[in-house]
A and B are shown apart, each in its own frame.
Chain A
Amino acid sequence: MIHFDQVSKRYDGGHEALASVDLHIERGEMVFLTGHSGAGKSTLLKLIMRIEKPSSGQLRVNGQLLNRLGKGRVPFFRRDLGIVHQDHQLLMDQTVFDNVALPLVIAGEHPRDVTRRVRAALDKVGLLERENYRPIQLSGGEQQRVGIARAVVRKPALLLADEPTGNLDPALSRDIMALFSEFNRVGTTVLIASHDLGLIARLNYRVISLQEGRLLTTPFGGGRS
């Protein structure tokens, strides 16, 4: 699903955010990505979302070689990703329903299907009764669940999350992680960047660590060692 082959990323000015990273995440895996801030977690996620391009090496995500993905194909590539942000990235002037519907509207789904699928996604995160609320009227944990509903509403093959529990208390964090596990159980590949090592330790998933742009753990899967 995600294949990094000797991928490096240097920013203008010479800072090397990622150095010769080899990483392979198979379809259906759930993987945690850890590391101190500045270790390259964000850069790695940005490369996968095709916000940034590798300086060298080959990167293949969901069957697409991102090095060669034309600008015009990027939107269609991103439609197959589900992305959860630390700060939710919701549209504050629109309702919960409209926020979750956004990926479907962008993909040009029929309004009838949109309603059905938005309700299904909201039901899954337990916010069905809040569909007409504005994000501002919800708690931080609820907002994050809206973000998750939006990320999964199109049933993406790959779910990416950047510090999804960054602003939440431990109980809420466990709920959110349980949600991710649930999506993983039905076949979604999940990659979660998090520095909440205590929480990660309690879950039995593969963990990869970055330090100063380099991968510390083995590039291939097979559970935590």
Chain B
Amino acid sequence: MTAQRQQAMNRRRDEPAQGASAAWIRHHRDCAVAALMRLVRNPVSSALTWLVIAISLTLPTLFYLALASLEHQTERWQAGGQITLYLTDATSLEEGQTLTEELAQRPEVISTRYVAADEAWQSFSQSLTLDDDRLQLESNPLPASIVVVPDGQSSTDLEALQLLITSLPQVEDVQLDLAWIDRLNRFLELIATGVTGLAILLGVAVLLVVGNTIRLAIESRKEEIRIVKLLGATEAFIKRPFLYLGLWYGLLGGMAAWILVSGIAWWLHTPLSAFLDTYGLDAHVTWLDIGETFILLLSATLVSLTGTHIALWRHLREAEPR
């Protein structure tokens, strides 16, 4: 073996070890900076790409926020959901109070409250603003009642409770408004599935947009790729600038999406509060917290990088040296 060949082989053996990692880091840094500069130097054409990414991400994120706000709201509704048992006239005050305590012992019940007939009448007449003579009745027409606040977690428990209550001899009538909560929950589940579907669909759109942008970038640098391949550039070396391009597109798109989502949420906050207020609802507009922001940026970057990888895989082999 000649000394020259020995030298060449030594050089090759050393390559992955010392010096190579520094060179690797240097190339990563250079590629990251160069790719960012490319975006900055072509603001209009690059903005088209990352704005599409931003808008594609804004839509599902906004739906997600709306859903989170609604879920927060229904949790409160469920806690406030109640059953009113109207007792028969034959039920005495003591009997009513005993029954109230018995019901409070049940595990699916959070609390109970006995409302005597007089108390009911009082609060009813107080709630009237007009001083109507017709309401000067001889006797109180309102029955005594028990307000039961159930633990609204499972609908089967609620059904069992409902069955028990209606079978009680002291109970004349039950006013129960729980079915709609169940329906609302189902509806929210449906919306959540829809939002997931929408997010997947728009994720695919981001993949295609980034893929196309990278394809054009590869196209415009085809000659350069051919040249560096002949000069001994590895696949990783050739891919690196494009991967950083994809990374920046994703990250910029994600950040723009965050700004859009926050802006729209802030913009809707006041009219939404006013609207919900008319229903006596607490206008709780949810913002993206740090974790959700991180997930938004991460998914934007990952989707963009995936699109870049697909474009590289499909189009890089077209740039073989001739």
Interface residues of A (CB under 8 A from B): 27, 49, 51, 62-63, 72, 75-81, 83, 89-91, 102-103, 105-111, 150, 157, 187
From residue 1 to 42 of chain B, which have CB atoms closer than 8 A to chain A? 2, 4-5, 8, 12, 15, 19-20, 22-24, 26-27
Asked if B233 lies at the interface with its beta carbon under 8 angstroms from chain A, I say yes
A106→B20 contact, CB < 8 A: no
Stretch of B57-65, B86-94, B123-131, B224-232 with 4 or more beta carbons under 8 angstroms from chain A: B224-232
The residues of B that contact A107 with a CB separation of less than 8 Å are: 232
A109→B23 contact, CB < 8 A: yes
CA distance A103 to B202 in the complex (A): 42
A157→B8 contact, CB < 8 A: yes
Nearest CB in chain A: distance from B308 CB, A: 21
Question: Chain B residue with minimal CB distance to A93?
Answer: B224
B232→A108 contact, CB < 8 A: no
The residues of A that contact B237 with a CB separation of less than 8 Å are: 75, 106
Looking at B23, B232, B322, which has the most chain A CB atoms within 10 Å of its CB?
A: B232
Q: Mark B206-246, 1 if CB is under 8 A from A, else 0.
A: 00000000000000000110111111111101000000000
Nearest CB in chain B: distance from A81 CB, A: 8
The secondary structure that dominates the B interface is: helix
Asked if B159 lies at the interface with its beta carbon under 8 angstroms from chain A, I say no
Question: Chain A residue with minimal CB distance to B320?
Answer: A51
Asked if B197 lies at the interface with its beta carbon under 8 angstroms from chain A, I say no
12 additional A-B residue pairs with CB within 8 Å, beyond A89-B230, A110-B19: A51-B320, A62-B5, A62-B8, A75-B232, A75-B234, A78-B231, A80-B8, A83-B230, A91-B224, A106-B237, A110-B23, A111-B26
A75→B23 contact, CB < 8 A: no
CA distance A79 to B320 in the complex (A): 16
CA distance A78 to B226 in the complex (A): 13
Contact of A103 among B2, B224, B226, B231 (CB under 8 A): B231
Count how many chain B residues have C-beta atoms less than 8 Å from C-beta atoms of the other chain: 29
B23→A108 contact, CB < 8 A: yes
A76→B23 contact, CB < 8 A: no
A78→B232 contact, CB < 8 A: yes
Asked if B321 lies at the interface with its beta carbon under 8 angstroms from chain A, I say yes
Contact of B232 among A62, A76, A109 (CB under 8 A): A76
CA distance A107 to B20 in the complex (A): 9
Nearest CB in chain B: distance from A61 CB, A: 12
Nearest CB in chain A: distance from B210 CB, A: 24
A49→B8 contact, CB < 8 A: no
CA distance A62 to B12 in the complex (A): 14
Contact of A51 among B15, B22, B321 (CB under 8 A): B321
CA distance A110 to B227 in the complex (A): 21
The residues of B that contact A187 with a CB separation of less than 8 Å are: 4
Selected A-B contacts with CB under 8 Å, 30 pairs: A27-B4, A49-B230, A49-B321, A51-B321, A62-B8, A63-B5, A72-B234, A75-B233, A75-B235, A76-B15, A79-B232, A89-B223, A89-B226, A89-B230, A91-B223, A91-B224, A102-B228, A103-B232, A105-B27, A106-B231, A108-B15, A108-B20, A108-B24, A108-B26, A108-B27, A110-B19, A111-B26, A157-B4, A157-B8, A187-B4
The residues of A that contact B22 with a CB separation of less than 8 Å are: 110
CA distance A107 to B2 in the complex (A): 23
- A76-B2 in contact given A103-B231, A108-B20, A108-B24 (Cβ < 8 Å): no
Question: Chain A residue with minimal CB distance to B8?
Answer: A80
The residues of A that contact B8 with a CB separation of less than 8 Å are: 62-63, 80, 157
The residues of A that contact B12 with a CB separation of less than 8 Å are: 76
From residue 265 to 322 of chain B, which have CB atoms closer than 8 A to chain A? 320-322
